Amino acid sequence: MDAKLERNKQIVAEFYDLIINKKDYEVAKKYMGPRYKQHNPLVKDHPEGLREFIEFLKTNAPLAHSEIKRIFAEGDYVILHVHSLRKPNTNGRAIIEIFRLENGLIDEHWDVIQEIPDESANSNGMF
């Protein structure tokens, strides 16, 4: 079971880097199942919806970059805790990305996004 969890984490980490940092749909699609159900209301279902999102990033946020701070896996789910920058020299956003894999392919995606404020009520940081 541990080997499967580690493989799932590797699949998701590689997929995420290809989408957000490299913006390479052609390579990323090999990690996706044919259904690829999307729960982000701004992105369409199916692999084609993700292709459109990557094209949006290329046009509107070509310097977007994300760093995975933590990665967790349980069963068929992989969760990423991410620091996302759409533009350099900004605070960016803290994102929780949730992926469900089926037969070694990414079948579903959810995310929760929070802007990082200039000031915080505590000194704990978001990562």
User: What are the residue ranges spanned by the domains of the chain?
Assistant: 2-115
Q: Any idea which fold 2-115 has?
A: Nuclear Transport Factor 2; Chain: A, (3.10.450)
pLDDT the model gives residue 49: 96
pLDDT the model gives residue 42: 92
Task: Report which residue type is found at 61.
Answer: A
Tens of pLDDT, residue by residue over 18-44, are: 999 999 999 999 999 999 999 999 999
**Which residues, given as ranges, of the chain have pLDDT below 50?**
none
Cβ proximity of 92 and 83 under 8 Å: yes
